[in-house]
Amino acid sequence: MIAHFTYFGTIITVGRTSTLSLHERGQNKALSTTGYSVKQIAEVVKCSRKAIMNFLRHQEEYGTKKSSGRPGNLSDREKGLFCVQRRIARLASLESVGPVHWCFKNYGVENAGLVSQYCTITDEEVSITDTRAKW
């Protein structure tokens, strides 16, 4: 929210500024450890005392937003497997069934058994298809 007020006929706009830069954060931390007061740090860095106090109170969380929304259910490993499966499924629409079955089998995707029950291609046919495939 931006506030406007008049000071001797001049309109002054007061708004929210951005967070402290990395340089300003470093200055705050260094000056604080050397014994400067919050008021002295604010004069050196040229920002408000409230900004200095907020930074010094919550240094680890300063400048980061709280996560909005529900956290995801998949781990990084599961996300990776899902991406591999999706890439292979995309290949299935572009290529024949043989190379796709070969990809599932060789890359160790956990659902390779489900694919193999619908795919009747043998290992010899996969090796023949593998030499013909241009991907």
- Which tens digit of pLDDT belongs to each residue from 44-85? 988 888 888 888 888 888 877 777 888 888 788 888 887 877
The number of residues in the chain equals 135
- The CA distance from 9 to 107, in Å, is 74
Say yes or no to pLDDT of 115 above 70: no
Alpha-helical regions (H) of 9-133: 22-33, 38-45, 49-57, 76-94, 97-106, 112-118, 123-132
Q: Give the model confidence (pLDDT) of 16-49 as tens digits.
A: 667 888 888 899 999 999 999 999 998 898 888 8
Say yes or no to pLDDT of 5 above 50: yes
Paired with 5 in beta bridges are 12
Domain residue spans in the chain?
22-57, 76-117
pTM exceeds 0.85: no
Eight-state DSSP code of residue 5 = E
Q: Which residues contact 79 (CB under 8 A, 6 or more apart)?
A: none
Backbone phi, then psi, for 68, in 5-degree steps?
-105, 140
Backbone dihedral region for residue 121 (phi beyond 0: left; psi -120 to 50: alpha; all else: beta): beta
Name the 3-class secondary structure at 14: strand
